[in-house]
């Protein structure tokens, strides 16, 4: 079993030397998936990826608009 799987768990904040800060979304003995703050989601081989623990807080997600996708009716002129 790779040593990294024991050191990291889902929802943990980490830093990667290329992609920067991120949050682990999934980890198992084969793959580790990380959602990076500025570089999207990346999947790594658990036994190969080199990560460091991070105390940095995750960025706040922007609020979603409640009316997204709702079309406004056009006023009819008579």
pLDDT at residue 33 greater than cutoff 80? yes
Reply yes or no on whether the pLDDT at 2 is more than 50: no
Given a cut of 80, whether residue 71 has pLDDT beyond it is no
Q: Which residues contact 33 (CB under 8 A, 6 or more apart)?
A: 24, 25, 26, 27, 41, 42, 43, 44
Residue 68 has pLDDT above 80, yes or no: no
In the structure, what pLDDT confidence band is assigned to residue 64 with cuts at 50, 70 and 90?
confident
What residue ranges define each of the domains in the chain, with the CATH number in brackets?
A: 4-53 (2.30.30)
> Residue 10 above 70 pLDDT?
yes
């Amino acid at each position: 079993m790779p040593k990294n799987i024991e050191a990291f768990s889902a929802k943990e904040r980490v830093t990667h030397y290329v992609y920067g800060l991120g949050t682990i979304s999934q980890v198992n003995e084969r793959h580790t998936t990380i959602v990076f703050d500025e570089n999207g989601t990346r999947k790594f081989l658990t036994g190969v990826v080199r990560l460091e623990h991070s105390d940095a807080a995750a960025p706040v997600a922007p609020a979603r608009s409640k009316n997204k996708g709702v079309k406004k009716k056009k006023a009819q002129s008579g």
